[in-house]
Structure 1
Amino acid sequence: MSAPEPTAPSPLDAERAHLAASRSALRAMRADAEALDIRDVTANWVNAEVLQSEIEQRIKSLADLADTPLFFGRLDYLHDLDEEGEHGSRFYIGRRHVHDAHGDPMVIDWRAPVSQPYYQATKQDPKDVGLRRRFGYDGGELTAYEDEHLSDPEEAETTSRLLQREIERPRVGPMRDIVATIQPEQDEIVRAPLSGTVCVQGAPGTGKTAVGLHRVAYLLYAYRERLARAGTLVVGPNRSFLRYIEQVLPALGELEVRQATVDELVAHVEVRGVDGAAAAHVKGDARMAQVLRRAVRAGVRMPTEPLMVVRGSRRWRVPAHELGEIVQELLDRDIRYGAAREALPQRIAHAVLVRMEQAGEAPDDRVQNAVARTPAVKAVVKECWPQVDPAKLVLRLLSDADFLAEMSEGILTAEERKAILWERPARGVKSARWSAADAVLIDEAHDLVERTGSLGHVVLDEAQDLSPMQYRAVGRRCSTGSATVLGDLAQGTTPWATESWAAALTHLGKPDAVVEELTQGFRVPRAVIAYASRLLPAIAPELSEATSIRDSAGSFAVRPVAPAELEAAVVAACREALTREGSVGLIAADARVPGLAAALAAAGLPHLSPGEETSRGARLTLVPASLAKGLEYDHVVLEEPAAVVAGEPDERTGLRRLYVALTRAVSGLAVVHAEPLPALLAGVGSGVGSAVGTGVGTGVVVA
């Protein structure tokens, strides 16, 4: 009797075996890195330290995260991509490259060119891909797969269920990467060349922040050597936002990307004061750059006395008019103040050397340097081109009415000068109550004196809230590099919020940047985005209304209550949201946050503050409306929309703040209110159970 033939493993078992083998190969790669012995391969201890640091970074990047799948997709090409046929035509696509002991790839980095068809291939343009396979995971365990036969004309094109499930997967904690769900229009932005600046106008839920972060990861892969020298930077609106996104790049294998706020970039002084809206608006205006340019050069004086340089037994005289010509030439060249000040003694010394040569001497560069260092030349430089301390200069500008009037003549109006002039002049830089806008002015003055260093690439998120002067501050950090600018004009909530990307990009110094618009949302439910979009005619009528590929995975309710019942209703809504899977955000006007915190504590509901979402033990975050931008929660409870609007200087800004708050929900939104809703949101329906807009399958209660 013959033995039964062995049963071939199922496709799912085969994929699980490849996952296990890939994890084993990754562990071997890490072990190889840990076993490297560099004791006899470096010339000195400095090289040894540098090499050891690089090895440690390599070891760190090879960590196998148990709950993070090594690969999420597979491509089967119709033809062999390698002419020699060494690697075949099947590639597993993942977050990082993994190879076996022979160097053959087991997982291909999602950023590699061979991986791009995973995101771009369609039935109309299969890009030589016969099969695209997506994998489903549960806690790091491979549980499902789904195939698309792109070259089969008989197979209908359908929406991927695994892709939809990954997009809608509940989130607890910080933002995660979207590498498994990048859409074709997002992928085109991610892979745009380093040389060009890209501006992404993105409606809520379109993934613009994730696109920006994945673009950094892609650029570091494609242009690693160049960016390793020049550096990269991610600029966010506040520290809470940066803590929320800080895990995305490490998950993609990029550990060394600096993150900062604009305030941190310009932290030349301690910020302790707060400007009113009028003062902040003037200080943020690009015209202040002209005022500062005048002020920096205001101390330059033309010489009135000739220069006499004594060398040995000879005296060399340079008349005042010739010294004046040298000073004027440097002014006309319009180079930075500090560079001109450094050039001035050399230019004066050169004039002395010309006289020496005319007298028959043969001075060299050492003589010129010696003349430039003589007390007589130093005295002329000090008199004609005095040193400028940027902070002291701005202090004088803001506290000396006459100086401010002189420097801003023809640039600012009398009312604008009055708005920014300090009522009580500070006695010194350290005692001044500097505002955030003042720090930006000091940064501008610093750059007028000495050039700010430029990075290779800067990602600027929530850019719509920057003032022109803040754009200039960021632009200085990428003056010789490129930028990715991310924002949504409808979410601008500062008095100086950007009205057009063309103007913003000009202030940034990137007027030729390409502007891309993302309007299709992937995470905000369709009913929620439709409800929030009712505000667009008032806050950004020029923008296209956002759409969403999602129906609500949870619920959407607008709940009117009596004023005396508001607090209890909010607590009940939070308690109800916590019965569902995922994170919960309670968003309210800033002034109402302390009272709600006390109510939650009295109800026994522990909560976090924005940026603390990595903490364990609480899924509820109490979010001031001013910090909600850029954050996402599976379920949002929005307390008193009218108070959110009233908390801003004007109605339009308030409605924009409300638009932001409404669009933080990924699965469910409950709006709880006692005061009447803003007119554009009122009257959506009448009576209990009315449906909202295009919401499908949503149970909605409206005022």
Structure 2
Amino acid sequence: MTTSSPDTVLAAERAHLEYARDQLRRMQASAASLDASTASDPLNAAVLSGVLARRVASLQEDPSTTLFFGRMDQRSAHGSETFHIGRRHVSDVRGDPVVVDWRAPVSTAFYRASATDPMGVELRRRFGVDQGRLTAYEDEHLTSGERSARSALLAAEVERPRSGPMRDIVSTIQPEQDEVVRSDLGRSLCVQGAPGTGKTAVGLHRAAWLLYSFRGRLERSGVLVVGPNRAFLEHVGAVLPSLGEVRVRHATVDALLAHDTVRAEDSPQVALLKGDERMAEVLRRAVWQDLGRPREPLVLPRGARRWQVPASEVQDEMDALVRRGLRYSAARELLPRRLAHLVMLRLERSGDFPGDRAQEAIARSAPVRAYAAALWPALDPATLLARLLSDADALAAAADGLLTEAEQHTLRWSAPPRSARAARWSRADMALLDELADLLERTPSLGHVVLDEAQDLSPMQLRAVGRRASTGSITVLGDLAQGTTPWAATSWREAMGHLGRPEHELVVLDRGFRVPGLVIDFAARLLPVIAPGLGAPRSVRDNPGRLDIVAADPARRSAAVVEAVGAATGEPGSVGVIVPDAFTDAIARALERAGIAHGRLDADHGDDEDRQVELVPASIAKGLEFDRVVVVEPSAIAAAEPDERTGLRRLYVVLTRAVSGLTVVHSEPLPGALGAG
């Protein structure tokens, strides 16, 4: 391995970079010169104009980085070839590659080649980059028989201070991560990833790779990234655009299921019951038990005659529609046509052949539509759910054999609203409304869904996400040890079943690249309590990081926090101050009095401005990362949750947000598990 100041090798690479930039500008100018008005009609011209605009935008260069971050010389049947690997493809006037997209099949070897399996790679070169300039390089000679030393440039990039939103990891993807990223579109994956293993980045990069490899299909069907909260989505929202993928939708679970306004909060007991998978069958029964039974024949006046269809034949048609497995509303639309068909059979048997359009006219006739509507009434999710939660008899009929009388009593509203429009819905109700909406009309499916922090979703929420990928595939990301809800998953097999993916591939990532050893070892003391049997993550960073435990007198706790934050801001990189939710305002006032500028990531104070210091309530810390983290009062963070295990899981999440250093400030005794070891 060699690392050097600018020399002839570095000069040649810099010259290639300038050549690549020239070619990119040429490609951009060529795209900008294309004229959409030459399309055959205005509609096609508008579509083509949008395509060209996106093409021009995708060819913009980011001045803070370089067009390529690596190079490999690979031996093939045609001799030795050189490929420069970058974030986008750049070609010359003849169409030959100047820079190869990191997602291209040929780039796989750059990430996976090793001394034991060089994959034809003779040389792998990594570059040091600073503000768009190549500053250094390292070479690995994979076919020399020598064991490669650990890359200092790679380690420096992984451990580089963070500021602002999450960055892409294309220059540092590890072999086990690359295997997940390049998994085929037809495979649904579940990634169990310990803190700092890059599971979120891997999921986002898989979305980017899929869009590159299956662009035609996925641009039609769509890609969705689902995260736990708005702060998380703001943190990761720049990754895909930085890779040129701007047409990916991001949504929180709450936004995805926003069928109405949430104006109430359930107790943990009620929320747990509403999220139970048994509710799916309760709701299915509630929908279909509204069907009537025909008691009188269908009578249709036509001309001088009155045509009748016996109630038994009508019932047979209704039963046939139910057996077809159609959604309720689709079957309801078909019933008048089926009744019209029965009338047509009688007309034809009588020797009357009224023509092809007669059946549709009969189906639209007032007597047929009124008769069908009485048997198959129109339903809407809100009215149906309000009735179910208000009417003891309706709930008992739907829940018979599924929920106990005590559970039914727990579900029922103590004070039923005057109407569905006046109902005070909770977050848990949103998943029930979504289930009902799908029972009535099929939820459109996307081509691929990336679901992060999946362990925290209830079975009913998982069903809601899964149906949005019913005809596509899904990448599920999470960590069982970080489950912080009463219904948190304890098994990925069970969670994937709720998502409709009993057949899936489970991948375990346990090498931590982001969280330093001292921090992860400290947090891992909680694992035997919160996730028995789950292996502890292994930090592979050279720098063990820093861990400081500060015991403060209760009267000086805020002052100790200010001192810790002040010390953390003396170095570059982001600082997260993670506090019990109830402490947020008090710590904010302490920081303000000390003149420490900071942002707040809670729902009432969030904004889009990036600051070095962010004040974070513990309840929304999941998925975020900061160079240095100050955690305030761990015992209070744990105690805020409904039970000990959930509280310690929340604390585990909080402690593993640091990527360089962690300071714990406490006046209360630390939880017992943290004192061990």
TM-score (normalised: structure 2): 0.97
Query: Which residue of 29, 48, 56 corresponds with 2:45?
Result: 48
Q: Is the 8 A contact 2:221 2:446 kept in 1?
A: yes
Q: Could you tell me which amino acid in structure 2 is paired with residue 334 of structure 1?
A: G
User: What amino acid is the match of 1:643?
Assistant: A
> More deviation in 30-39 or 242-251?
30-39
Cα shift readout 1:505-539 (whole Å, capped 9, x = no counterpart): 11100100101000110010011111111100111
2:450/2:475 contact within 8 Å kept: yes
The amino acid of 1:103's aligned partner reads G
Whole-Å separation in 1 of the counterparts to 2:110 and 2:569: 36
Read off the aligned partner of 2:509 and give its amino acid letter. L
Shift of 1:613: 8.4
After superposition, where does 1:388-427 map in structure 2 within 5 Å?
388-427=379-418
Q: Is the partner of 1:494 in helix, strand or coil?
A: coil
**Is the 1:173–1:614 contact (alpha carbons within 8 Å) kept by the matching residues of 2?**
no
State how far apart, in whole Å, the 2-side matches of 1:607 and 1:359 are. Answer: 84
Equivalents in 2 of 1:90, 1:245: separation in Å? Answer: 33
Distance in 1 of aligned mates of 2:249 and 2:89: 23
CA distance in 2, matches of 1:449, 1:519: 43
Distance in 2 (CA, whole Å) between partners of 1:302 and 1:683 is 67
Closer, same or farther: CA 452–347 of 1 in aligned 2, 3 Å: same
Post-superposition Cα deviations, 1:123-171, rounded to whole Å, max 9, x if no partner, equal: 1110111000000111221100000000101x33211000000000101
> Helix, strand or coil: the match of 2:481?
helix
1:681 paired to 2:677: no
Partner of 1:104: 96
1:17 counterpart residue number? 15
- Aligned partner of residue 315 in structure 2, secondary structure: helix
CA deviation after TM superposition for structure 1 residue 320, in Å: 1.5
How far apart are residue 552 of structure 1 and its match?
A: 3.9
Match of 1:349 among 337, 340, 345: 340
In structure 2, C-alpha distance between the alignment counterparts of 1:321 and 1:614, rounded to whole Å = 64
Q: How many angstroms apart in 2 are the aligned matches of 1:228 and 1:364? A: 44
* 9 and 633 in structure 1: CA distance in 2 versus 1, 3 angstrom threshold: closer
Question: Which amino acid letter does the alignment assign opposite residue 241 of structure 1?
Answer: F
| Structure 1 range deviating more: 486-495 or 341-350 | 341-350
Equivalent runs, 1:248-327 vs 2, <5 Å = 248-327=239-318
Identify the residue that residue 3 of structure 2 maps to in structure 1.
Answer: none
Determine if contact 2:65/2:129 at 8 Å carries over to the other structure: no
Which residue of the partner structure matches residue 5 of structure 1? none
| 1:431-446 → structure 2 map (5 Å cutoff) | 431-446=422-437
Pick the aligned partner of 1:339 from 297, 310, 330: 330
Contact 1:177 1:210 in 2 (8 A): yes
The reply to whether residue 93 of structure 1 matches residue 85 of structure 2 is yes
1:582 aligns with 2:573: yes
Task: Give 1:77's aligned amino acid.
Answer: Q
For residues 47-71 of structure 1, the C-alpha deviation after alignment (integer angstroms, 9 at most, x for no partner) is: 1101001111111111111002211
Deviation at 1:553, TM superposition (A): 5.7
Taking the TM superposition and a 5 Å limit, the aligned residue runs for 1:160-559 are: 160-552=151-543, 554-559=545-550
Partner of 1:640: 633
Could you report, residue by residue, the CA deviation over 1:77-109 in whole angstroms, capped at 9, with x for unpaired residues?
1235xx5x8xx6000000000112222211000
Q: Alignment partner for residue 662 of structure 1, among 646, 650, 655?
A: 655
Given that residues 518 and 544 in structure 2 are in contact (C-alpha distance below 8 angstroms), is that contact kept between their aligned partners in structure 1?
no
- Give, in whole Å, the separation in 2 of the partners of 1:574 and 1:420: 46
When structure 1 is superposed on structure 2, of 287-296 and 421-430 the one drifting more is 421-430
TM-superposed CA distance for 1:262, in Å, is 1.4
Q: Which of residues 17, 28, 53 is equivalent to 1:30?
A: 28
Q: What secondary structure does 2:674 align onto?
A: coil
1:60 pairs, out of 57, 61, 85, with 57
Residue 419 of structure 1: CA displacement?
A: 2.0
- 2:476, 2:537 → 1: CA distance? 19
Are the equivalent residues in 1 in contact too, given 2:36–2:46 (CA < 8 A)? no
Q: Is the 8 A contact 1:173 1:613 kept in 2?
A: no
Conserved 8 A contact 2:10-2:137: yes
Distance in 2, matches of 1:540 and 1:366, equals: 66
Task: Say which is worse superposed, 390-399 or 90-99, in terms of deviation.
Answer: 390-399
CA RMSD of aligned residues (A): 1.4
SS of residue paired to 1:656:
helix
How far the C-alpha of 1:551 sits from its partner, in A, is: 4.3
Aligned to 1:152: 144
Provide the rounded CA distance (Å) in 2 between the counterparts of 1:79 and 1:298.
67
Q: Distance in 1 between matches of 2:42 and 2:494?
A: 51
The 3-state SS of whatever aligns with 1:680 is helix
- Counterpart-to-counterpart distance in 1, 2:286 and 2:83: 61
Residue number in structure 1 paired with 2:600: 609
Counterpart Cα distance in 2 of 1:575 and 1:294: 59
Q: Deviations over 1:599-646 (max 9, x none)?
A: 111111111123968625x30000111111000000000000000001
- Residue 681 of structure 1 aligns to a residue whose secondary structure is helix
Could you tell me which amino acid in structure 2 is paired with residue 278 of structure 1? Q
Secondary structure of the residue aligned to 1:89 is: strand
- What secondary structure sits across from 1:124 in the alignment? coil
- C-alpha distance in structure 2 between counterparts of 1:683 and 1:265, whole Å: 42
Does 465-474 or 341-350 show the bigger shift? 341-350
Partners of 1:547 and 1:116 in 2: CA distance: 25
Alignment match, 1:697: none
- Alpha-carbon offset, residue 203 of structure 1: 0.2
Q: Counterpart of 1:300 in 2: which secondary structure?
A: coil
Q: Is the 8 A contact 1:613 1:621 kept in 2?
A: no
Is the Cα–Cα contact under 8 Å of residues 244 and 613 in structure 1 kept in the other structure?
no
Q: What is the one-letter code of the residue matched to 2:73?
A: D
The 3-state SS of whatever aligns with 1:92 is strand
Q: Deviations over 1:5-50 (max 9, x none)?
A: xxx97111111111111112111111111111122x2121111101
What's the counterpart of residue 142 of structure 1?
134
Unaligned runs of 5+ in 1: 1-7, 685-703
Matched with 2:114 is 122
How big is each residue's C-alpha offset from its partner over 1:248-294, in whole Å with a ceiling of 9 and x where there is no partner?
00111111000111111111111111111011000001111111111
- Residue identity opposite 1:36 in structure 2: L
What displacement does 1:305 show?
A: 1.0
Asked if the contact 2:517–2:544 (Cα under 8 Å) also holds between the matched residues in 1, the reply is no
Distance 1:370 1:613 in 2: 58
For residues 153 and 195 of structure 2, the distance between their equivalents in structure 1, rounded to whole angstroms, comes to 23
Aligned residue for 1:660, secondary structure, equals helix
Mapped partners of 1:522, 1:384: distance in 2 = 62
SS in 2 for 1:259: strand
Separation in 1, partners of 2:257, 2:459: 14
Letter in 2 for 1:121: A
State the one-letter code of the partner of 1:24: D
Q: AA paired with 1:678? A: P
Worse overlay, 672-681 or 603-612: 603-612
User: Residue 329 of structure 2 contacts residue 440 of structure 2 at CA under 8 Å; is this kept in 1?
Assistant: yes
Report the more deviating stretch, 409-418 or 164-173.
409-418
CA distance in 1, matches of 2:62, 2:305: 77
SS at match of 1:368: helix
Q: Secondary structure at the match of 2:599?
A: coil
C-alpha contact 2:314 2:339 (8 A) present in aligned 1: yes
